[in-house]
Amino acid sequence: MPSYTAPTRDTRFIVNEVLDLASYGNLPGFEMVTPDVTDAVIDEGGKFCSEVLAPINQSGDQQGCIRHEDGSVTTPEGFKEAFEQFREAGWGTIAAPEEFGGQGMPHVLGFAMEEFISSANQAFGMYPGLTNGAISALIAKGSPEQKEMYLPKMISNEWTGTMNLTEPHCGTDLGMIRTKAEPQDDGSYSITGTKIFISAGEHDLADNIIHLVLAKTPGAPDSSKGISLFVVPKFLLDADGNPGERNGVVCGAIEHKMGIHANSTCVLNYDGAKGWMVGEENKGLAAMFIMMNAARLGVGIQGLSQAEVAYQNAVAYALDRRQGRALTGPAEPEAQADPIFVHPDVRRMLMDAKAFTEGMRALALWGGLLVDLTHKAQTEEERAEADMILGLMTPVIKGYGTDKGYEVATNMQQVFGGHGYIEEWGMSQFVRDARIAQIYEGTNGVQAMDLCGRKLAQNGGAAIQAFFKLVGEDIAAAKGDEVLGPLAEKLENALGEQQKATMWFMQNAMQNPNHLGAGAHHYMHIMGIVVLGLMWLRMAKVAQEKLGGSPDDKAFYEAKIATARYYMDRFVPDAGALRRKLESGADSMMALGEEAFATAA
Amino acid sequence: MPSYTAPTRDTRFIVNEVLDLASYGNLPGFEMVTPDVTDAVIDEGGKFCSEVLAPINQSGDQQGCIRHEDGSVTTPEGFKEAFEQFREAGWGTIAAPEEFGGQGMPHVLGFAMEEFISSANQAFGMYPGLTNGAISALIAKGSPEQKEMYLPKMISNEWTGTMNLTEPHCGTDLGMIRTKAEPQDDGSYSITGTKIFISAGEHDLADNIIHLVLAKTPGAPDSSKGISLFVVPKFLLDADGNPGERNGVVCGAIEHKMGIHANSTCVLNYDGAKGWMVGEENKGLAAMFIMMNAARLGVGIQGLSQAEVAYQNAVAYALDRRQGRALTGPAEPEAQADPIFVHPDVRRMLMDAKAFTEGMRALALWGGLLVDLTHKAQTEEERAEADMILGLMTPVIKGYGTDKGYEVATNMQQVFGGHGYIEEWGMSQFVRDARIAQIYEGTNGVQAMDLCGRKLAQNGGAAIQAFFKLVGEDIAAAKGDEVLGPLAEKLENALGEQQKATMWFMQNAMQNPNHLGAGAHHYMHIMGIVVLGLMWLRMAKVAQEKLGGSPDDKAFYEAKIATARYYMDRFVPDAGALRRKLESGADSMMALGEEAFATAA
């Protein structure tokens, strides 16, 4: 059976040393997270995930969820008990506002915990994860009464939440939804329609499920400007605010999926279900984006998570499995063969994984800090700057993070050879679970267009210019340094490629917007390479400073610098190739009509 | 349910027009394959696969194989009937020698059929596929009596064959096998041991299963120089050569795998089973490589096959599914949304698939021709040249073909968005089935080392120099041509990258062999890019010639040239990035010891 240990040393390194969370002590909610508290949250959270959630990951995959004839759903063995422990320990409340019973700690710590949860058990993590998305929307758009009614019990995980967007005929293009919301005399709405792919849509973990549902009111515009958001509890609340009468929403089926078997992905049938509008009529898309942006960051972290757990198991296998001899001569001549860890092609895959996961962890936690700064930074200007950078980072964290996460998980499965293909070893599950993250919360093609079609151009390109400045400053500061200089030079090459690609878009996309679409995926990957490079430069800088002081765990810091070198050697060269592909534009891509794609006999 | 149509027009284009099979009419076995015969085989074979094998692909995945308490195995519904039809139609005999009842046709046609079979039903195709591997070994190394006893019924598919290499503790490093072969007084051997991952190891499709088994005779050297090959029938043959007494080999378990569920992957327990040595004692490795090389080409074709069938279904979905509007304005303003086919990022994935599958098909069929030429070319020199190029191509077809095949299958699943993750749509199966091809018959890391560690250096680099000459000549001939010239120039860049990479290996690998291991995977991919580029240049050349004569299917040839342009725009730039990574060598890759890979709490 595969195993998982939360990489808490690395998380503490990023939180305490790279991001230096303590230096933000003047911000609300940050004053409580002294390094002692931070370390305790990280260590205890990691322990909970490794000891409680990881052991039911594989059995959850094998058993899946079961829907009964009455539409109720049973989660796999142990999930109910684990969720109770999760709730009791308050792991769902870390970054939630104190006003509604949360702990009000920085999102940085919430994100660290999300990584551990998803590594240990991605399907489990989606139950509280979706709840967080619904909480975000209610905080931002709910009425005071709605907040009062739902938030405390959602934040405490007594109840869970869902996001109901997709319908059979539409996913990305939500303007096409058909679910109807008819206003009732009592101010509520009668919701009727079919929603599909509803994660955590029905289950036995909580006393109530609070569905947030996109629907159309009568006469609403037939586009994305005509959708409204509704809150539809599974059980209507009684006068005391407790679950009472069953509402008219039923799970019609659960999907048979490639992975995340332990999460119940439901078809939900709404048949005159009672719901209440959240926010303004026809402004549902904006509310949805609040849920989506939070969820997209979480999904990006899932890419990291599956890569990390797959990596840990591949390392153990590579050290245990003996086949062949090192190319430089037997490493362990007394044994019949050397561990496969000695083979460069195995090491290549492990180093790729190490460079990705540690870099991506830094990026994800920096993303968490940006979320905090958008809300809590002291000046309006700082908040706006954080929001701008976060907007740019969100599609990169989601798109690049999950594309690479899947690639790394696949390569870690490859380290196992034939055993990687056998379900008992658990590597197949990591790959199958990782796969969904490239698809949901907006496919990675949608992320790429969000980045290139929306974020790049916003405010005359202010965000991307701010990003270039940020990277440029770190490069400039590192240049000339014996250790950091060579790293910075390679990162500068990648940055140069991104700047050329940006320029090419500016010069060509107006004339033909397909040029933008044809290069968006490549651009997202170039930016992923640059921003992970920035993380590595920052981590190497901290590591070098620590080494100057002869720290106890010298090997930890030396490994950071060595891995930064590997990153610059083996990740950065792709930026140039991607830029060249991007500059070939849309012409050869769009040259052929549909008849050229038919299979001719 | 997914569908499959054999791409017979494209196969005929490659066989008749690009490879020009008719021009080899002076070679034995080729005289019978006039274009009429070729077309009939391709069309009927394609029809059989689409109509008989494809419809039981998804049900086979869902049902899997069932092992009963007595060790017998039942294949999924419809497999027995389909295999009977396959046998009766003689689809397994196309390229087998006439001497033993085969049709003696060129391997080119056998390979074309293998592609169709694997696209339609990869798990099914492995039953006759493994049989072909066993046949190759018996033809090359079997005694006249062994050939007489086994080959006719294996070639007719009355019996099937297997390859028994892997044991629980060893796969790649076969010198470590423990299965014992004790000589008996009657000249046979008593075989005892456990073999794992035996594809098609036990099933209900054939009257007998002929296992080819690697084992060690008493006192044999404790290395790969001490393994011998044995033929071990499931049922011993009676005096008339028919299956008689049950032999001591039993299926102890079937594996639970990520994919290819309909193929029974067995643990085979040999307990004093009666076997006979094939070829010389302690020369089993050489015999095994005969099986392996044939099998590796077949596995490379599986990469193509899964990419092709996934592509066909993604095209259909992209034309049917409507979401959003074209970036250049509504393509179908009267409809509520445009087909997703209009979106550049969808087109990017489809064009990547088209450029890969059509290029890879040309490479695979050229590989088939090279197999024929190694046996049948008129002069010893021509046979040696073909053998040299084939040796170089085999790891590239296997390694590059399956890496890209998996990537393309994954991207075709991506085209489906959320529906791609739901098993009913069938895209998950293509990805899961494609995954094994990167692993079995030598992982792709093993392929890369076969290419770089063995093939590059053989005969003072004669093979790679011959390959460079071959590509260089096609480039030179195309230069200056208005259509072909720009394609050739881009291919020349890629060739230049491969030459630089080769030079770097020559200058650095002697000093530190890890430099070779650290770059082998990248080199294999560079070579894949170059050789697919060569295929595209050749296809474009033929297409351009045909267009000069105003052919009926003008659009077909125009699409070839357009796709060649796309290939040069979007595949070729990776060669430079891969070369730069390769030139970073082993230093940063091997810098860290195993303690740096431990997860620190």
Chain A stretch 247-286, residues whose beta carbon is closer than 8 A to a beta carbon of chain B: 255-259
Task: Note whether A172 contacts B: Cβ–Cβ < 8 A.
Answer: yes
Last residue of a domain, one of B238, B256, B283: B283
* Interface predicted TM-score (ipTM): 0.98
Residues B31 and B85 in one domain: yes
| A282 located within any domain | yes
- List, in sequence order, every beta strand (DSSP E) within A7-138: 66-67, 73-74
Task: Note whether B595 contacts A: Cβ–Cβ < 8 A.
Answer: yes
Provide the residue type at B267 as one letter: V
When divided into structural domains, chain B yields a total of 3
Q: How many CB atoms lie within 10 A of CB A401?
A: 32
Output Rg (C-alpha) for chain A, integer angstroms.
24
Verify whether the Cβ–Cβ distance A421 to B257 is below 8 Å: yes
Going from the C-alpha of B71 to that of each of B250, B253, B269, the distances in angstroms are: 6, 8, 10
Distance separating alpha carbons of residues A166 and A171, to the nearest angstrom? 5
| B568 located within any domain | yes
Question: What is the model's pLDDT at position B288?
Answer: 85
Question: What is the model's pLDDT at position A166?
Answer: 96
User: B376 CA to chain A: closest CA distance, Å?
Assistant: 30
Question: What is the model's pLDDT at position A235?
Answer: 98
B596 CB neighbours in chain A (<8 A) are 555, 559, 562
Last residue of a domain, one of B226, B259, B283: B283
Contact (Cβ atoms closer than 8 angstroms) between residue A53 and residue A59: no
Among B369, B299, B365, smallest CA distance to B122 is for B299
At A443-486, the pLDDT tens digits run 999 999 999 999 999 999 999 999 999 999 999 999 999 999 99
Length of chain A: 601
Distance separating alpha carbons of residues A116 and A133, to the nearest angstrom? 18
Last residue of a domain, one of A262, A288, A314: A288
Residues A15 and A131 in one domain: yes
At B276-332, the pLDDT tens digits run 999 999 999 888 888 888 899 999 999 999 999 999 999 999 999 999 999 999 999
Surface-to-core class of residue B483, CB atoms within 10 Å of its CB (0-12 exposed, 13-18 middle, 19+ buried)? middle
Provide the residue type at A44 as one letter: E
Output Rg (C-alpha) for chain B, integer angstroms.
24
What kind and span of H or E run contains A244?
Answer: strand A243-246
Would you state the structure tokens that stand for residue A567, as one six-digit string? 């990153």
Residues A257 and A127 in one domain: no
User: A377 CA to chain B: closest CA distance, Å?
Assistant: 31
Among A124, A125, A127, A104, smallest CA distance to A114 is for A125
User: Which CATH number goes with the domain that contains B200?
Assistant: 2.40.110.20
CA angle, residues B519, B522, B524, in degrees to nearest 5: 110
Length of chain B: 601
User: A134 CA to chain B: closest CA distance, Å?
Assistant: 20
Residues B180 and B278 in one domain: yes
- List, in sequence order, every beta strand (DSSP E) within A279-321: none
Residues B470 and B570 in one domain: yes
CA angle, residues B161, B163, B167, in degrees to nearest 5: 140
Task: Note whether B12 contacts A: Cβ–Cβ < 8 A.
Answer: no
Q: How many CA atoms lie within 13 A of A303 on its CB side?
A: 32
Dihedral, A434, A439, A443, A444 alpha carbons, nearest 10: 20
Q: How far is CA A296 from the centre of its chain?
A: 5
Verify whether the Cβ–Cβ distance A172 to B324 is below 8 Å: yes
Surface-to-core class of residue B524, CB atoms within 10 Å of its CB (0-12 exposed, 13-18 middle, 19+ buried)? buried
Q: Looking at the predicted structure, is the pLDDT value of residue A600 above 90?
A: no
User: B565 CA to chain A: closest CA distance, Å?
Assistant: 6
Distance separating alpha carbons of residues A157 and A93, to the nearest angstrom? 8
Contact (Cβ atoms closer than 8 angstroms) between residue B248 and residue B274: yes
Question: What is the model's pLDDT at position A290?
Answer: 83
Distance separating alpha carbons of residues B324 and A171, to the nearest angstrom? 10
Phi, psi of A476 (to 5 degrees): -60, -40
User: B398 CA to chain A: closest CA distance, Å?
Assistant: 15
Contact (Cβ atoms closer than 8 angstroms) between residue A135 and residue A110: no
Distance separating alpha carbons of residues B579 and B500, to the nearest angstrom? 8
Would you state the structure tokens that stand for residue A305, as one six-digit string? 């998570």
Verify whether the Cβ–Cβ distance A343 to B445 is below 8 Å: yes
Contact (Cβ atoms closer than 8 angstroms) between residue A91 and residue A113: yes
User: Which CATH number goes with the domain that contains A102?
Assistant: 1.10.540.10
Would you state the structure tokens that stand for residue A479, as one six-digit string? 């240049």
The catalytic position among B308, B441, B492, B497 is: B441
Going from the C-alpha of A402 to that of each of A387, A396, A525, B405, the distances in angstroms are: 22, 9, 11, 20
Distance separating alpha carbons of residues B129 and B114, to the nearest angstrom? 8
* Torsion over CA: A141, A146, A148, A153 (sign): negative
Verify whether the Cβ–Cβ distance A171 to B46 is below 8 Å: no
* Candidate from B173, B423, B570 with C-beta closest to A258: B423
Dihedral, A43, A48, A53, A55 alpha carbons, nearest 10: 90
* Candidate from B327, B553, B597 with C-beta closest to A514: B327
B440 CB neighbours in chain A (<8 A) are 418, 421
Chain A stretch 302-331, residues whose beta carbon is closer than 8 A to a beta carbon of chain B: 312, 315, 319, 322-324, 327-328
Distance separating alpha carbons of residues B348 and A574, to the nearest angstrom? 18
* Candidate from B9, B319, B518 with C-beta closest to A344: B518
Distance separating alpha carbons of residues A47 and A113, to the nearest angstrom? 11
A98 is catalytic: no
Among B192, B445, B316, B558, smallest CA distance to A599 is for B316
Distance separating alpha carbons of residues A467 and B51, to the nearest angstrom? 56
Distance separating alpha carbons of residues A4 and A118, to the nearest angstrom? 11
* Candidate from A5, A443, A595 with C-beta closest to B555: A595
Q: How many CB atoms lie within 10 A of CB A331?
A: 13
Task: Note whether B174 contacts A: Cβ–Cβ < 8 A.
Answer: no
* Torsion over CA: B347, B349, B355, B357 (sign): negative
Question: What is the model's pLDDT at position B492?
Answer: 98
Q: Which residue of A has its CA nearest to B354?
A: A597
Task: Note whether A372 contacts B: Cβ–Cβ < 8 A.
Answer: no
Task: Note whether A516 contacts B: Cβ–Cβ < 8 A.
Answer: yes
Residues A512 and A560 in one domain: yes
* Candidate from A173, A337, A563 with C-beta closest to B337: A173
Would you state the structure tokens that stand for residue A453, as one six-digit string? 């079609």
| B300 located within any domain | no
Would you state the structure tokens that stand for residue A103, as one six-digit string? 């702990």
Q: Looking at the predicted structure, is the pLDDT value of residue A16 above 90?
A: yes
Q: How many CB atoms lie within 10 A of CB A478?
A: 22
Residues A477 and A564 in one domain: yes
| B244 located within any domain | yes
Task: Note whether B343 contacts A: Cβ–Cβ < 8 A.
Answer: yes
Contact (Cβ atoms closer than 8 angstroms) between residue A430 and residue A459: no
Distance separating alpha carbons of residues A573 and A557, to the nearest angstrom? 25
Mean pLDDT of chain A: 96
| A201 located within any domain | yes
The DSSP result for A418-441, as a single string, is GGGGBGGGSHHHHHHHHHHHTTSS
DSSP annotation of A75 reads: P
Would you state the structure tokens that stand for residue A136, as one six-digit string? 């975000």
| A362 located within any domain | no
Distance separating alpha carbons of residues B66 and B210, to the nearest angstrom? 21
Question: What is the model's pLDDT at position A287?
Answer: 87
A513 CB neighbours in chain B (<8 A) are 327-328
3-state secondary structure of B505: helix
A317 CB neighbours in chain B (<8 A) are none
Distance separating alpha carbons of residues B366 and B379, to the nearest angstrom? 19
| B275 located within any domain | yes
- List, in sequence order, every beta strand (DSSP E) within B469-601: none
Among B289, B300, B290, smallest CA distance to B360 is for B300
Residue numbers in chain B where pLDDT is lower than 70 = none
Residues B186 and B125 in one domain: no
Distance separating alpha carbons of residues A120 and A79, to the nearest angstrom? 13
Residues B458 and B571 in one domain: yes
Task: Note whether A236 contacts B: Cβ–Cβ < 8 A.
Answer: no
User: B499 CA to chain A: closest CA distance, Å?
Assistant: 18
Please state whether beta strands B159-164 and B208-215 pair in parallel, antiparallel, or not at all (unpaired): parallel
CA angle, residues A363, A369, A372, in degrees to nearest 5: 150
Question: What is the model's pLDDT at position A179?
Answer: 98
* Candidate from B566, B597, B599 with C-beta closest to A588: B566
B315 CB neighbours in chain A (<8 A) are 597-599
3-state secondary structure of A254: strand
Would you state the structure tokens that stand for residue A226, as one six-digit string? 């005509």
B576 CB neighbours in chain A (<8 A) are 573, 576-577, 580
At A262-279, the pLDDT tens digits run 999 999 999 999 999 999
Chain B stretch 382-401, residues whose beta carbon is closer than 8 A to a beta carbon of chain A: none
Contact (Cβ atoms closer than 8 angstroms) between residue A470 and residue A533: no
Which candidate in A47, A122, A261, A348 is best for mutational testing of the B interface (most B CBs within 10 A)? A348
| B105 located within any domain | yes
* Candidate from A7, A431, A580 with C-beta closest to B573: A580
Distance separating alpha carbons of residues A589 and B341, to the nearest angstrom? 12
Distance separating alpha carbons of residues A464 and A456, to the nearest angstrom? 6
Chain A stretch 46-105, residues whose beta carbon is closer than 8 A to a beta carbon of chain B: 46
Contact (Cβ atoms closer than 8 angstroms) between residue B45 and residue B112: yes
Question: What is the model's pLDDT at position A360?
Answer: 98
Residues B137 and B175 in one domain: no
Residues A582 and A462 in one domain: yes
Distance separating alpha carbons of residues A44 and A89, to the nearest angstrom? 10
Distance separating alpha carbons of residues A191 and A176, to the nearest angstrom? 16
A595 CB neighbours in chain B (<8 A) are 555
Verify whether the Cβ–Cβ distance B566 to A580 is below 8 Å: no
Distance separating alpha carbons of residues A8 and B476, to the nearest angstrom? 58
Contact (Cβ atoms closer than 8 angstroms) between residue B362 and residue B535: yes
Verify whether the Cβ–Cβ distance A592 to B6 is below 8 Å: no
CA angle, residues A287, B342, A499, in degrees to nearest 5: 70
Which candidate in A258, A322, A487 is best for mutational testing of the B interface (most B CBs within 10 A)? A258
Structural domain containing residue A113? 8-141
Verify whether the Cβ–Cβ distance B171 to A521 is below 8 Å: no
The catalytic position among A114, A115, A441, A492 is: A441
Residues B168 and B259 in one domain: yes
